[in-house]
Amino acid sequence: MPARELLETNSSLMAAYPSWRPRRKAPATTGVRINGVVSSFGNPLVQLHRTSLFRDLSASQCREISGAGRERTFCQDESIIVEGDAMRSVSLVTAGHAKTVRHSAVGKLMILHVLGPGDVLDGLGHGPGSTHSAGAYAVEHCRILSWDIAEFESLSQRFPALLRNSVRLLTQRMRSLEGRVHEFATERVPQRLARVLLRLIAESGSSLASAPVELSCEELAQMAGTTLFTVSRLLCEWAAQGIIRPERSAILFENLAGLIAVAMQDTGREDMRREDSR
């Protein structure tokens, strides 16, 4: 069964991915990209009407709104947003991928989201005087379209569909973070890592050769809230079980149902207390 159908038939998994939207039927094998090329729209600004933020807007309205923004290019690992800085703009990924991160008081980093073309980095629902609660970095060479917050507010008042889409995206982001908090509170590392991978598959559209982001084992650890050693150990175990097939440039999924089974395993509190790799 293709990845899309497997995920859609598991209602509890789908509840954890509020931004999931069924896409065209995907090939049977799926992967998470580790080293790859930029994934982008053929012509990013022309294709904006396909994004969730521009849903139900006409082509002319999309052109007007995009024309009020400014597009910038960022190199791999370059800082896009600095955590704690004043929020001055609404930012949308138009090509490539970026990650939003947050640091603990002792400097430990956690990846909150990996975002691709059409995803909003930050700025929705905020006014002057707000600050960024998370930072953002380019996962690969990417382009970001930004609007001044006051300008975006004006556009939202002129185009009600833009305001509705902004509220919808904020609600989806909140539900996604609620799901992550629940995972950290109730699930062990294997389940969390499996769900991270499934989330990446769902958000990428399930490509045959790879999902469209670069992710190292360290970054997977930062998303799952665990250590590099634990991620490496689990990937080796899953490879031995035939669930994944690691390659130099990608992690291929040969048994997606097996990965879903790991993610769906019931975890008792007693087992969680014994987990030594949280």
Q: Which two tokens stand for residue 100?
A: 């939003």
pLDDT at 228 over 60: yes
Q: Do 67 and 155 lie in a common domain?
A: yes
Q: Quick one: 100 and 165 in the same domain?
A: yes
Angle among Cα 148, 153, 157 to the nearest 5 degrees reads 145
CATH number reported for the structural domain that contains residue 151 in this entry: 2.60.120.10
Q: Which residues of 203-214 are buried (b: 16+ CB within 10 A; e: fewer)?
A: bbbbbeebbbbb
164-208 pLDDT, tens digit each: 999 999 999 889 888 888 888 889 999 999 999 888 887 765 444
- Whether 165 and 69 map to the same domain: the answer is yes
Does residue 61 have a pLDDT over 90? yes
Mean pLDDT of the chain: 78
Q: Are 83 and 147 part of one and the same domain?
A: yes
Over residues 39-56, mean pLDDT: 70
> Which residue range(s) make up the domain with 66?
48-176
Q: How many residues does the chain have?
A: 278
184 lies in a domain?
yes
Residue 43 inside a domain? The answer is no
Lowest-pLDDT choice from 12-16, 158-162, 187-191: 12-16
- Between 111 and 2, the higher pLDDT residue: 111
The structure tokens listed for 61 are 């309205």
Does residue 47 carry a pLDDT above 60?
A: yes
Question: Are the CB atoms for 173 and 100 separated by under 8 Å?
Answer: no
Q: Supply angle C-alpha 151, 69, 163, rounded to 5.
A: 50
Predicted structure pTM score: 0.72
Which of 158, 176, 194 lies at the terminal end of a domain, its last residue? 176
Long-range contacts of 227-236 (CB under 8 A, 24+ apart): 227/277, 229/277, 230/189, 230/277, 231/193, 234/189, 234/190, 234/193
Asked if residue 91 has pLDDT above 70, the reply is: yes
pLDDT at 49: 76
Residue 192 belongs to domain with CATH number: 1.10.10.10
Q: Do 24 and 60 sit in the same domain of this protein? A: no
How many CA atoms lie within 13 Å of 202's alpha carbon, on the beta-carbon side? 24
Q: Report pLDDT for 53.
A: 92
Please report, rounded to a whole number, the percentage of residues in the chain having pLDDT higher than 70: 74
The whole-number pLDDT of residue 199 equals 85
Q: For residue 27, what pLDDT is reported?
A: 32
- pLDDT at res. 43: 57
pLDDT level of residue 109 (50, 70, 90 thresholds): confident
Instruction: Give domain status of residue 169, yes or no.
Output: yes
Average pLDDT rounded to a whole number, residues 128-151: 90
- Answer whether residue 42 is part of any domain: no
What's the total number of domains in the chain? 2
